[in-house]
Amino acid sequence: MNQKSFYDLLSRYENGNCTEAEKLWVDKWYHNLNNQNFKDLSSPALEEMQVNTWLNINNIESKPTSALKVKRLWPKFAIAASIIIAFFIAGLYLSSYNHAEQSFIDENEGLNLISKTNESDSSLVVSLSDESTVTLKPQANIIYPKVFAANKRTVYLKGSAFFSVSKNPKRPFYVYNQKLVIRVLGTSFWVKSSTDKLPAQVAVRTGKVQVAENQKSSLFTFYKEKLAKPILLTPNQKGIFAHHKLNKTLVNKPIPLAEAYNIPTSLSYNFKEESIKEIFKTLSAAYGIEIKSDNEQISAYTFTGDLSKKGLYEQLDLICGTISSKYYIQGTSIVVSNKN
């Protein structure tokens, strides 16, 4: 309802020409205002609310009218101010209301749900009924059934956590948070809820996960074309959600797949006059990340050095330093270039 509609409604309310439903609506908002607790509002919010309210009142009072008319209209102004303040409070509430969490609870009302928060300064491991584990970072919270349903396993997360999910193709595992829905079969990955400074993220260590936007994140329904397109993530890949878009990139610290899966490997990182092309093949196989050059000249170079105790990005820094090149991340690939 816009400002003009408010004034029209109030005019009809004052003259006794509004419907019974409209009268009840105005009376309800006015009653809610009188019972509203403003203690949770910050000083800036209260100040802004006061300024906006008086601006609207002053705009009405600035119109030419007699003293008697202003006096008679004062109850109308008071009600207008009340409704404006009430809508402001409702807006604050709706903007912070976590509809996704309530939807999760409603959809699992038949299960015995447990809520656990890590109130310590260190990580907390939570064991689930299917032998999956969740490592909660400080202040993170997880809601989960004491015993999972027969057809699927679902949990709700607030904050950041590392999941190690037991394999069970017949019972897919879902992680919900306020922005995302992550579907897995059996894997390990990080989930970070969005904050004021950082977007929601999912980073995969092992296995594959599908990430989609949580349609229950708001009280309002989005058109399907406005929802983010789901993405599939594999090891060392990360999904970032912002403005109804999901983008894929690489994690900050890729680790070799053999280390992630705890399996032996025959790959060696000690190179002697090895062609850059072959080194890229070795590193790509080790990390599951495509590493390529943007011209054939780079592929023909050779490199000698032991990169065994280095991380991937440090390995690339050393290689690029010897061939006067640089690398950059392009989606989920790494491109080495000698262009300025």
Give the chain's domain count: 3
Residues 104 and 230 in one domain: yes
Same domain as 129, residue 243: yes
Structure tokens at 127: 């064991």
Whether residue 39 is found in the same domain as residue 172: no
Q: Are residues 162 and 138 in the same domain?
A: yes
Domain boundary among the residues 96, 131, 161 is at 96
* Pair (65, 108) in one structural domain: no
Q: For residues 80 and 76, give the distance between their C-alpha atoms in angstroms, rounded to a whole number.
A: 6
* Half-sphere exposure in the Cβ direction for 117 (13 Å, CA): 3
Same domain membership, residue 148 and residue 17: no
Domain co-membership, 284 together with 232: no
CATH number of the domain where residue 261 is located: 3.55.50.30
Element (H, E) at 296: helix 296-300
Average pLDDT along the chain, 340 residues, taken 10 residues at a time:
59 70 64 50 48 46 50 58 58 56 91 96 97 97 96 96 94 95 91 88 96 78 70 97 94 96 94 95 97 90 95 96 95 91
Q: 199 with 319, same domain?
A: no
Domain's final residue, options 75, 96, 117: 96
**Confidence at residue 4, expressed as pLDDT on a 0 to 100 scale:** 56
Whether residue 236 sits in one domain with residue 115: yes
Write the DSSP symbol of residue 165.
P
Query: What pLDDT is stored for residue 197 in this prediction?
Result: 81
Please tell me whether residues 65 and 49 are part of one structural domain: yes
Domain's final residue, options 219, 248, 277: 248
| pLDDT at residue 196, as a whole number | 77
CATH code, 135: 2.60.120.1440
Q: Residue 265: give the domain boundaries.
A: 257-337
CA nearest 155: which of 218, 209, 111, 187?
Answer: 111
Same domain (yes/no): 146, 236: yes
> By C-alpha distance, which of 177, 253, 172, 176 is closest to 207?
172
Shared domain check, 281 and 308:
yes
